[in-house]
Structure 1
Amino acid sequence: MTDAYIYIRFSTPSQEDGHSYERQYKGGMGLIAEKGWTLVETVEDLGKSAWKGKHLNGGELGKFSDRVRAGDIAPGSWLIAEKTDRLSRQGWEELFDWLRDMTRKGLNVITQDNHVFTQETMRDTISVIRILLEGQADKAHSDKISDRVSKAYNDSIEKARNGGPKISKKCPGWLELSEDRMTWIRKEDRIAVVQMIYEAAAEGKGSRWIAKELNERGVLSWGGARRKLGGGWDATTVRWLLTSEAVEGHYVVGAAAPKKVKDPGRRIDNYFPEIVDADLVARARAAVDGRRLTGGRDTSNVVNLFRGVVRCQQCEKPMRLTNFHGVHQFHCANWQARRGCTNSSYFMYQPFEDKALDLILTRVLDDRYFSRADDTYPLTVEVAERKNELDEAQARLDRAVDQIINGANPEIFEARIPGLKQGLTEAQSALRDAEQRLLRARGSVSADEHRRRVLEVRDSITHEDKETRVAARLRVMQALKSYVDVVWCNGANEWEGEEHKTFALHLTSSSYIAVITDEGRVLMEQNFLDEIEDDDDMENFAWGDAKTEKHLTDLIRREKQG
């Protein structure tokens, strides 16, 4: 019996709900029955466009082609496609090369409209001409459809940008389109959930943590597929919400699938209603960008303030924190897994934390970690809002220039240009003024006031109230991971004739080093910050890295204030 394979492809997922799949499959089975062949397998590229031809190499058809080349498909087998445009719409060259390659490897190809491609017919000039003409026709048809779709989509974008109907019903889960397609209907319960997620992120909580809390509270997720499967919140969904410009009211063309859009990245401001204020967005995303958590069972309690930086001095691999009868201890993950490290020591965590915070907390806990308590908070809000106003002013000017270039009522738009330029200048000036006032306000906190605030935080990290304790520990952990380069654990450190289990704490670029025993005793403390007096000294420590230089500058400023 001759083996046969049916190839099914359609461009958009919506076609799966129609008759495209069923039509292609039934047509293939009819041809198999007519020829007396045996169906071995159905090769499916669902939701794959033939415009770019990626399915020929990277899709399921591409994988099938590799099997043919490897000899896994029996010579003389037949691949059935509905039409040649199911194989490619790129034009005749790509299709011809692929067919020649497959037929030389022993695979025959046939379409349901009776075009046959074998090694013999490929030598026939008439068959080659057929491929040329049909491939070219398919390409022209594809380009024509693509141009029409692109023009219609661009027209809908411009109408929406100028206050017309919305582009489509597709929108974030916290909104719904009105029947006349002109306005968005808010779903306040879902908006409250999004705001809750941003507040949690601004506090320093990671995506997994936030998802876990939402599920524990019984907060329902939205989305048809997720709800049908009974699934709750997950880290991926939370991360998407924390990066989505839709919460600020912006619509970004192709944001969900940029590779499927010809001109992704175009933005329509104020397309959606803003549901999270600019300051909260800025604080939450700053916290997300600065987070490098490595997980662990005690993440929600923020047990390990030095997460991600504690390493074994012998093998240089991460140390693992475990809870043994209520006592937290570090041990080498490599030693536990028997991967060659012989550092079998267990290091007491709590005495190290207590002493390390005594030594460095006033240095690393900078003014910005008190932004909600300081008078700087209103100015932070103002700066974020001024940035949005500047973006909107620039966008209005850009749209007017585009209209002039495209010849759409140039006299009207040319008359608006001076006013738009003036608005842009005023927005720039307002932003500069707000930023300068914010910098001045942040620099006005006295050293005594700072020490008082640090002591309050120091007391709060062991507070009996969990919410107070977690908030304080999150604040400290964010500060530590900005300035602590590494903590080396040495299980046999010889010091003045005695052997100790020690933590060697290094701040930015080893500008400050402290060696602490796991009993909480300081063996050595070296502070090089006072030695950084000029640019040459800074270069020796920072090695030209701007981020390191900024951290060193912060540490020196705090050292002088302390």
Structure 2
Amino acid sequence: MQATVFAMLPAYIYARFSSLEQAKGHSLERQLEEGRAHIERNGWKYSESRELRDEGRSAFSGENRQPGSALYDFEQQAQTGAFKSGVVLVVENVDRLTRQGYEQAFDLLRQLTQNGVTVATTQDNQIYPAGDRIDMAKVMMVIIKAELALDESTKKSKRIKAVWKHKVNQAIAGSGQIVTPSIPAWLNIENGQIKTSSKRVAVLREIYDWYCAGHGLSAIVKKLNSRKEANWTAVRKAQASGWNTTYIHRLLTNRSVLGEFRPFAHSRTHLKDELAGTVIPDYFPAVVTAEQFNRVQGLLIQRQRTGGKSQHTQKNLFSGIARCSECQGVMYYQNGQRVGTPVRRSNGKSHIHRTARSYLKCNNARRNHNCSNKTAIRYEVLVNAILDTFLSAVADDDFFKTKPVVNRLREEVAEQERLKTLKETQLSTVVENLVEAHSKALAQKAAQLERDVEELDAALSVLRDKLKVEEGTATPEQVAKVLKNAREALDSDDPEISYAARLKVHQVFQGLFSRITCFPDGETAAFVDGLAVWCFDKEGNMSGGQMI
């Protein structure tokens, strides 16, 4: 009888399940079929476009009501008055909407009904009319069912957490047990063991080698797509779109290549918080060395600081690091004379340029914008001066023995470790005193010291990661070898060889120098970690500097 009052109203169906594992069953289709039948029995208007689905979204955690979910969008429409003319929301039971207790359930029902939404449940055939006060009997029924659903979800959550914690602890202990079938794309599970895919591992190592050689993310994407290399996504639409820079960056920063497994690092469940920071080493087969991984992390930081990707020409080896001393603006690369360019003289005879002549000029001064430094620095002279000086300096055992940034980070780690040890000693003393004589003040002091130790531990973790990255970068001897080989190829007639050489030299300059400063008198200064190590006059001769 009551249903006839709402006859011909447009009806929505809401269907949801919590775990993506449930997608293998028939939960979603069952809810939809029951909803369609319920709509037909009550004479409401059905449309497939009004079927709302939240797959793999928990009502216990409230994820199904967060931005991005179908229910969240429906609630937002209701609150803006989109359903004032009246609609019906058909759902299997109230616990499909929320399993967070009777307060949430009752508030949600009241919010929907006050905004023109009649809620109908198929399992118990109840209707909560829009605009009507929910009677006491129904309120009590909602409370009882909501609390039962909450209790059931809480118990289930505890069981699941216990199972997962046991699996993770077993894996930490080295049992070899597979915690989850979800593994990186370059691995497979065969006969209960995690194995590498030789073809994909080869591609992954190519990507790391290319990035270390100076190729940017876009260049790597072009290489892979040009040779029709199939990408690794499981989604067919994404497979068709090929490789992209976002995925390449993810591969270059994924510590799984070292064999590390971080349980629930990307999970949206409560276990994410409980297992935060847990790392299981050697869980996966390592496919990249720690040295190469740290090298890549250092390069990612460098390129982020100096402007990122290289242009295919990469003419200016100082791009991103050469600055004007007067305005701190970037130095503009100007190509004045190319090798092999024919020039006709005034007497009618032609001349072929045998040397290149390029210049660095302050870009602000060039545009007459707040800078008077109009000096032109001979580009080729500066490149040769820096290369010659570096290659001779490497022969000195005391020069660049340890990078200043490494020394500084080591000092910071040592100081943080000292402070942590001090706090832990203080905490141990306070706890001993607390055992002998309980005191509110001592309890508060112990709690504060625990927080201090946790903060110092977190800071130490960050510093140690930075130190690993810096220590993983190339040594001066390794850099010298790269520069010697690259220098000979810089002016090669083969554009590919020349380009590869410029990429390598540019990469070295980015990693070595914090900046190159150009002065109005034609002098330049090369800075490493904030200290001027070399100064050159306009002819490229050493004019000063400070050894570090």
TM, length-normalised to structure 2: 0.65
Q: Which of 262, 268, 288 is the equivalent residue of 2:280?
A: 268
Q: Percent identical across equivalent pairs?
A: 26
Q: Which of 197, 219, 225 is the equivalent residue of 1:215?
A: 225
Q: Which amino acid aligns with 1:525?
A: G
Q: Which of 39, 47, 50 is the equivalent residue of 2:46?
A: 39
Deviations 1:408-459 (A, max 9, x none): xxxxxxxxxxxxxxxxxxxxxxx9xxx9xx99x96899xxx97x98676555
**Counterpart residue number, 1:173:** 185
**Aligned to 2:235, what secondary structure does the other structure show?**
helix
Question: Does structure 2 retain, via aligned residues, the 8 Å contact 1:122–1:128?
Answer: no
Q: Which of 515, 518, 536 is the equivalent residue of 1:513?
A: 518
How far off is 1:62 after superposition? 1.5
**Aligned to 2:59, what secondary structure does the other structure show?**
coil
In the superposition, relative to structure 1, how do residues 51 and 320 fare at CA in structure 2: closer, same or farther (>3 Å)?
Answer: farther
How far off is 1:149 after superposition? 1.0
Map 1:80-95; keep pairs closer than 5 Å: 80-95=90-105
Q: Which amino acid aligns with 1:38?
A: K
**Counterpart residue number, 1:54:** 63
Q: d(CA) in 2 for partners of 1:127 and 1:360?
A: 83
Q: Which amino acid aligns with 2:141?
A: R
Q: d(CA) in 2 for partners of 1:24 and 1:366?
A: 76
Q: d(CA) in 2 for partners of 1:120 and 1:453?
A: 77
How far off is 1:357 after superposition? 3.2
**Aligned to 1:200, what secondary structure does the other structure show?**
helix
Question: Is residue 357 from structure 1 mapped to residue 344 from structure 2 by the alignment?
Answer: no
In the superposition, relative to structure 1, how do residues 443 and 19 fare at CA in structure 2: closer, same or farther (>3 Å)?
Answer: closer
How far off is 1:270 after superposition? 1.0
In the superposition, relative to structure 1, how do residues 52 and 109 fare at CA in structure 2: closer, same or farther (>3 Å)?
Answer: same
**Counterpart residue number, 2:166:** 155
Deviations 1:261-320 (A, max 9, x none): 432431111111111122111212211222137578x73443454555799999x89999
Question: Is residue 252 from structure 1 mapped to residue 249 from structure 2 by the alignment?
Answer: no
In the superposition, relative to structure 1, how do residues 60 and 75 fare at CA in structure 2: closer, same or farther (>3 Å)?
Answer: same
In the superposition, relative to structure 1, how do residues 126 and 303 fare at CA in structure 2: closer, same or farther (>3 Å)?
Answer: farther
In the superposition, relative to structure 1, how do residues 300 and 86 fare at CA in structure 2: closer, same or farther (>3 Å)?
Answer: farther
Question: Is residue 462 from structure 1 mapped to residue 491 from structure 2 by the alignment?
Answer: yes
Question: Does structure 2 retain, via aligned residues, the 8 Å contact 1:104–1:119?
Answer: yes
Question: Does structure 1 retain, via aligned residues, the 8 Å contact 2:66–2:72?
Answer: yes
In the superposition, relative to structure 1, how do residues 196 and 310 fare at CA in structure 2: closer, same or farther (>3 Å)?
Answer: same
**Counterpart residue number, 2:141:** 130
Question: Does structure 2 retain, via aligned residues, the 8 Å contact 1:250–1:271?
Answer: yes
How far off is 1:18 after superposition? 2.8
Q: d(CA) in 2 for partners of 1:364 and 1:73?
A: 73
Q: Which of 250, 253, 270 is the equivalent residue of 1:240?
A: 250
Q: d(CA) in 2 for partners of 1:90 and 1:282?
A: 44
How far off is 1:152 after superposition? 0.9
**Counterpart residue number, 1:280:** 292
Q: d(CA) in 2 for partners of 1:2 and 1:317?
A: 66
Map 1:121-520; keep pairs closer than 5 Å: 122-161=133-172, 162-179=174-191, 181=192, 183-226=193-236, 229-257=239-267, 261-262=271-272, 263-292=275-304, 299-307=311-319, 353-354=379-380, 357=383, 457-466=486-495, 468-481=497-510, 507=515, 512-514=517-519
How far off is 1:109 after superposition? 1.0
Q: d(CA) in 2 for partners of 1:366 and 1:208?
A: 35
Q: Which amino acid aligns with 2:14?
A: Y
Question: Does structure 2 retain, via aligned residues, the 8 Å contact 1:367–1:442?
Answer: no
**Aligned to 2:522, what secondary structure does the other structure show?**
strand
Q: d(CA) in 1 for partners of 2:332 and 2:163?
A: 58
Question: Is residue 116 from structure 1 mapped to residue 131 from structure 2 by the alignment?
Answer: no
Question: Is residue 71 from structure 1 mapped to residue 84 from structure 2 by the alignment?
Answer: no
Question: Is residue 22 from structure 1 mapped to residue 1 from structure 2 by the alignment?
Answer: no
How far off is 1:119 after superposition? 5.0
Q: Which amino acid aligns with 1:234?
A: N
In the superposition, relative to structure 1, how do residues 105 and 269 fare at CA in structure 2: closer, same or farther (>3 Å)?
Answer: same
Q: d(CA) in 2 for partners of 1:352 and 1:550?
A: 25
Q: Which amino acid aligns with 2:11?
A: A
Question: Does structure 2 retain, via aligned residues, the 8 Å contact 1:201–1:288?
Answer: no
Q: Which of 522, 527, 541 is the equivalent residue of 1:525?
A: 522
Question: Does structure 2 retain, via aligned residues, the 8 Å contact 1:250–1:270?
Answer: yes
Q: d(CA) in 1 for partners of 2:29 and 2:512?
A: 61
Q: d(CA) in 2 for partners of 1:136 and 1:7?
A: 21
Question: Does structure 2 retain, via aligned residues, the 8 Å contact 1:206–1:288?
Answer: no
Q: d(CA) in 2 for partners of 1:112 and 1:329?
A: 78
**Aligned to 1:45, what secondary structure does the other structure show?**
strand
How far off is 1:231 after superposition? 4.0
How far off is 1:360 after superposition? 5.9
How far off is 1:128 after superposition? 1.7
Q: Which amino acid aligns with 1:96?
A: F
Q: Which amino acid aligns with 1:551?
A: G
Question: Does structure 1 retain, via aligned residues, the 8 Å contact 2:263–2:278?
Answer: yes
In the superposition, relative to structure 1, how do residues 311 and 551 fare at CA in structure 2: closer, same or farther (>3 Å)?
Answer: closer
In the superposition, relative to structure 1, how do residues 359 and 444 fare at CA in structure 2: closer, same or farther (>3 Å)?
Answer: closer
How far off is 1:32 after superposition? 1.0
Q: d(CA) in 2 for partners of 1:230 and 1:64?
A: 33
Q: Which amino acid aligns with 2:101?
A: G
In the superposition, relative to structure 1, how do residues 70 and 218 fare at CA in structure 2: closer, same or farther (>3 Å)?
Answer: closer
How far off is 1:467 after superposition? 5.0
Q: d(CA) in 2 for partners of 1:329 and 1:34?
A: 83
How far off is 1:5 after superposition? 1.1
How far off is 1:462 after superposition? 2.7
How far off is 1:46 after superposition? 2.3
Gaps of 5+ in 1: 334-340, 344-349, 369-373, 381-430, 486-506, 516-523, 530-547
Question: Does structure 2 retain, via aligned residues, the 8 Å contact 1:92–1:135?
Answer: yes
How far off is 1:107 after superposition? 1.4
Question: Does structure 1 retain, via aligned residues, the 8 Å contact 2:114–2:131?
Answer: no
Q: Which amino acid aligns with 1:357?
A: V
Q: Which amino acid aligns with 1:109?
A: V
Deviations 1:99-121 (A, max 9, x none): 21221122111111223223566
Q: Which amino acid aligns with 2:42?
A: K
Gaps of 5+ in 2: 1-7, 342-357, 370-375, 395-399, 407-463, 536-541
Q: d(CA) in 2 for partners of 1:110 and 1:52?
A: 23
Question: Does structure 2 retain, via aligned residues, the 8 Å contact 1:249–1:274?
Answer: yes
Question: Does structure 2 retain, via aligned residues, the 8 Å contact 1:305–1:476?
Answer: yes
Map 1:7-18; keep pairs closer than 5 Å: 7-18=14-25
**Aligned to 1:252, what secondary structure does the other structure show?**
coil
Q: d(CA) in 2 for partners of 1:233 and 1:64?
A: 35
Q: d(CA) in 2 for partners of 1:50 and 1:28?
A: 19
Q: d(CA) in 2 for partners of 1:256 and 1:321?
A: 48
How far off is 1:9 after superposition? 1.7
How far off is 1:192 after superposition? 1.4
Map 1:522-561; keep pairs closer than 5 Å: 524-525=521-522, 550-552=529-531, 559-560=545-546
